[in-house]
Amino acid sequence: MLDTAALPDLPRAERVQVVDGWLSGLLDDAVAGTPPPLAKRGSAPPRSGTEGLALIAVGSLGRRELPPHGDLDLVLVHDGRPEIAAIADALWYPIWDAGVRLDHSVRSVAEAVAVASTDVKAGLGLLDARLVAGDAELAGRLRTATLSSWRQAASRLLPALRDLRRGRARQVGELAFLLEPDLKEAYGGLREGQVLRAVAAAQLADEPTAEVETAYAFLLDVRDELRRRSGRPSDVLVRQEQRPVADALGLSGEDALLREVSLAGRRLAFVADETWRRVEAALVRRPRSRYRRVRREPLAEGVVRQGDEVVLARDARPAADPGLLLRAAAAAARADLLLSPYTLKVLAVHSQAMPEPWPPEVRWSFLRLLASGRSAVAVLEQLDQEGLLSRLIPEWDRVRSLPQRHPWHRFTVDRHLVEAAAAAAELTRDVDRPDLLLVSALLHDIGKGWPGDHSEVGEPIAATIATRMGFAETDVAVIGTLVRHHLLLPATATRRDMDDPATIDRVADTIGSDAAVLQLLHALAQADGAATSASAWSPWKAHLVAALVARVQAKLGGAPLGEAAAVLSPTTPQVSTATPALPGTTAPVTVGIQDVADGQEVTIGAPDRPGLLSTCAGVLALNQLDVRAAKITVEGGHATSVFAVRPRFGRAPVPEILADGVRAALEGSLPLAERLRQREVDYRQDGVRSAPPRISWHNGEVSGAATGIVEVRAGDRAGLLYRLTAAIAGEGLDVTSARIETLGADAVDCFYVANPSGDPVDPEQRRRVDEALVGALRPAAEADTPV
């Protein structure tokens, strides 16, 4: 009997050997326990033993890669033995009784080949066929017939296999860039290694290289440890399992594990992409010609286009031409092509070290490569996979496949930098120095490869790289400034009040008097956001940053503010839908709504009272409106609150409903706290995560009525703004404006607060506000009393 409990702890090879021996014994028992049928007169005598019978393993067992808690994929192949059904039943039932999951079939050689020639999944599986027990001659016939059928049907099956993998890639994602990757099905995962072998079996590509096999074997080791430690047949490397898997593999931590997984996945994906290009070219039918010449089109000195690839000219001399590498890369990107694999190998072997500083022609080629935009991404990946990018920029190795554990980041650090450079290429006409924009976009997060604040750490690193590239000293200083302050504009626009002169003064003082630096920072912020994710650079955020830039530009150069600078300036409500004043015991309440960038602007007019901003925020939350920014002004006892909102479920706000809700809340007939607690229970996905909130104060950064800024970082949830502003108001502070930024499951809320008396916020009051905010952030199920 198989000891299934002990199997997960065995090494992979030993685990396969134990299972093979068990299955071999089961086949012998099944054959011995099944009496042969009575021979009919004139028929051949019944055969004994396993003659004409073979137990074939496919799938992971067939490849000798059976993971812990893995399924068994078995095919019982026969050549017409009449008692085959009885033998199969006697074989399968003990496997099921042992609690092992089984995928089984009974086939003749002809039947197996017929299925494999029409079903790409079945054909892929049979390529891994391996004899476990029985008739070796029969198993050999199956193997020969399967390979022959696969090669004959390659023109039909391989496109289907390609489409299948591309569909899974769209559904599951790319292994190299996932924080919780599917080791098997994500693009670049274990399935890619199996596909590469299948394409080689069709004789349309070479056998996978040693590098590919090493990457594949590492992913197998990760999957084995994942299954062994989780005790489940799952191939998804979830966050909670990453630390124990890393420890088992001798890695320093979960980030080191993800990085190695990413490197392996990128190698497999890169080779798979190149293989599919070769397959597609091989399967294209061309007119037969006895003397078909391949056209060679010059692209640059020493570089030509040959077919759909870029290759070196016959007279090119990589060892004597330091500019050839980047000249070829730039030519390929500009033509929206790729370098041929052979050309990459030649450049990797024969290219000499780049002179320092780079010659102007080399720097110009590098800038042309970056300026090619999207087509440069694949070329830079080619250089990276051959180790050429690290030769040019040695610091690149520190960020290669470095994971970014933030839900709004789509890529590893190095790929994010390349994507940012591609996005910056679309903005070069908006700036006076596109060369500085492109290089700073490629280097803006280079500091993440070192400990410390990546912006501060990255500044001298970027300056060193720019100096090596041959930029002038003044240009090096600008690149360093751009890297140091690449987060200045988005952070300020989303977390500070732009109507406060101190905000504009602080930005202007930080970047200096050069309006060109402001222009470059604006373009860099756009490129950085676009390369991160849609949530990191929404139309609303773009509008805020543009408004901030307009105000700072006006201060630096005296230019008019323009329309972009108008962000949440409380004025008389502009009512797009006529909303009559609603009389009641409180006083009239008016609501105006107008469309703005990526949402609506809601203006609420009501009699001033403590906590009014919180009340309005609560009503908006009940109406499923996410608030992005808020501001309140009071004049003559009447308050005007302006909110930038976005409907959570796509339904635009209705002025009459909002006005009615605000009036009911002010009168006390609408229990806001109770209703929002119930909403949080209903929408559990809005619950805060286990990480504690962070609360910080920024005094001395404001002017006017506000006396301080309190910043709250916590998990996002329904009614968060209402709870926080209510907590602040409960401690006697007025909230004059708020900036809300939500990225993934996190929220960063900044509140401008003031004492009604005009006194500064003292330490004791800050302590009480901190406690109130922590209490307001507790989940509804944990709250003892209403907020």
Give the DSSP per-residue string, 27-53. Answer: HHHHHHTSPPPPPPTTSPPPP-TTTTE
Q: Which CATH architecture has domain 156-283?
A: Up-down Bundle (1.20)
Distances (CA, A) of 135 to 26, 56, 145, 768: 15, 10, 16, 81
Query: Is the pLDDT at 320 greater than 60, yes or no?
Result: yes
Contact 249, 221 (CB under 8 A): yes
Contacts by 569-573, CB closer than 8 A, 24 or more apart = 569/499, 569/631, 569/642, 570/603, 570/631, 570/632, 570/633, 570/640, 570/641, 570/642, 571/640, 572/640, 573/603, 573/604, 573/605, 573/640
Tokens in use for 56? 């074939």
CATH, domain range 590-776: 3.30.70.260
Q: How far apart are the first and last CA of the chain?
A: 62
What pLDDT band is residue 714 in, cutting at 50, 70 and 90? confident
Residues 163 and 489: their CA atoms lie apart, in Å, by 43
Contact 19, 66 (CB under 8 A): yes
Residues 66 and 81: their CA atoms lie apart, in Å, by 30
Least confident of 9-13, 507-511, 556-560, 647-651: 556-560
List, for residues 363-419, the tens digit of each pLDDT value: 999 999 999 999 999 999 999 999 999 999 999 999 999 999 877 788 999 999 999
**Domain 7-35+48-152 class, CATH top level:** alpha beta
List, for residues 126-185, the tens digit of each pLDDT value: 999 999 999 999 999 999 999 999 999 988 899 989 998 888 888 999 999 999 999 999
| SS3 sequence of 157-223 | HHHHHHHHHHHHHHHHCEHHHCCCCECCCCECCHHHHHHHHHHHHCCCCCCCCHHHHHHHHHHHHHH
Q: Where are the domains of the chain?
A: 7-35+48-152, 156-283, 590-776
Q: Where are the alpha helices (DSSP H) in 426-558?
A: 434-443, 454-469, 473-484, 488-495, 501-511, 515-532, 539-557
Q: Tell me, what's the pLDDT at 223? A: 97
Residue 221: what residue type? Answer: D
Q: How many helices (H) and strands (E) does the chain have?
A: 29, 16
List, for residues 559-572, the tens digit of each pLDDT value: 655 555 666 655 44
Residues 787 and 774: their CA atoms lie apart, in Å, by 11
Contact 122, 56 (CB under 8 A): no
Give the DSSP per-residue string, 318-344. Answer: GGG-TTHHHHHHHHHHHTT-EE-HHHH
Q: pTM for the complete prediction?
A: 0.84
Residue among 76, 150, 77, 152 nearest 120 (CA): 150
